[in-house]
Amino acid sequence: MPIDPAQRHQIEQDAITAMWEAARRTACDHAIALLREIASRERDDDDYVIIGTDPDGHNDQMSRIAAFLATHDR
């Protein structure tokens, strides 16, 4: 027995919503992991997190955050 068009449309919409939700949850998980890494960093006397650079001037943490934001910016 074929599915009527309204039911098919609802199934398609539910599938799209589920895929979007999964992507959003994954993005949130990645953001939380980055925030936990930042929170575990060394802090200065004012309790600000110290995010420094390596001897070549690179900052892996900030690069990862920038890449994350660029990927998930909508």
Question: Do the beta carbons of residue 68 and residue 28 sit within 8 Å?
Answer: no
- Residue-level pLDDT at 18: 93
Domain extent, residue 40, equals 5-72
Question: Do the beta carbons of residue 43 and residue 50 sit within 8 Å?
Answer: yes
pLDDT in tens, 42-72: 777 888 776 666 667 677 777 777 788 788 7
Query: What is the total residue count of the chain?
Result: 74
32 or 51, which is more confident? 32
Per the structure, the count of domains in the chain is 1
